[in-house]
Amino acid sequence: MLMNTEGKSAVHLARESIEAHLAGMPDPRIPDDAIFQQQRGVFVTLNTIKHELRGCIGVPYPVMSLADAILNSSKDAATKDPRFSPISTKELQKIVIEVTILTTPEKLEGKPTELLEKIKIGRDGLIVKYGHYQGLLLPQVATEYNFTTKEFLSQTCLKAGLPSNCWLTGAEIYAFKGQIFGELTPGGSVQEK
């Protein structure tokens, strides 16, 4: 778990990374906290002030340092999310940034009905894998849309480009937890959610 000061630094790093990237400048300085050198999964989410998604990209597995994961994910969320056009410097002033630090995803074992008991809405994010298909939904998605556990599993299947019931027919299900830090206003104060 990150301390509040580290979470604030993570969000500030994400914003500074996007600002530098859009201006054609080098990456910002990495915070000195040791946590930023640890390998962690992370997602950076960009929302408008009206709470509309504007970009979300991340690294689900701990394959690089937290600092590198934030730098890469923030730039990609702003400019490479295929669902959206790239964000401009002017638009960034109206964007609220959220950073979700992930635990290592763990495969859930058991019959499909047993999976329902292992997933807690609001605590767990999900990854569904089947063949070369994979989809991920962050923990906050389930609470934002008031999903039941079945709906959350089904929506994660759909995110993977699979039938909504693939969790019943052999898809692998992984769960992870996320610690979420976000700006209250664009570039403003940061709090843990």
Asked if residue 184 and residue 113 are part of one domain, the reply reads no
pLDDT exceeds 90 at position 132: yes
- The rounded distance, in Å, linking the Cα atoms of 17 and 29 is 9
83 and 12 housed in the same domain: yes
In a shared domain, residues 97 and 184: yes
Give the pLDDT of residue 112.
87
Strand partners for 95 = 48
- Domain, as residue range, for 127: 106-177
For residues 93 and 178, what is the distance between their CA atoms, to the nearest angstrom?
Answer: 26
Domain identity same for 167 and 182: no
Measured CA to CA in angstroms, residue 70 lies from 101, 131, 177 at distances of 9, 28, 17
Q: Would you say residue 1 has pLDDT above 90?
A: no
92-113 residue pLDDT tens: 999 999 999 999 999 999 998 8
Tell me the mean pLDDT in the region 62-85: 97
The pLDDT tens digits for 141-154 are 999 999 999 999 99
CB-hemisphere CA count at 13 Å for 80? 10
Tell me the average pLDDT of the chain: 96
Q: Is the pLDDT of residue 183 over 90?
A: yes
What pLDDT does residue 113 have? 84
Name which residue leads in pLDDT, 158 or 1.
158
Scan for tokens 């209250």, then name that residue: 184
Structure tokens at 38: 């640890």
pTM given for the model = 0.93
Is there a single domain that holds both residue 48 and residue 10?
A: yes
Quick one: 115 and 155 in the same domain? yes
- 38, 101, 135 from 35: Cα distances, Å: 5, 11, 27
Q: CA-CA distance, 157 to 167, in Å (whole number)? A: 7
**pLDDT score of 88:** 96
Tell me the per-residue pLDDT of 41-57, one tens digit each, with 9 for 90 and over. Answer: 999 999 999 989 999 99
pLDDT at 28: 96
Residue 70 gets which letter from DSSP? H
Q: Residue 67 has which token pair?
A: 């600092």
Domain count along the chain = 2
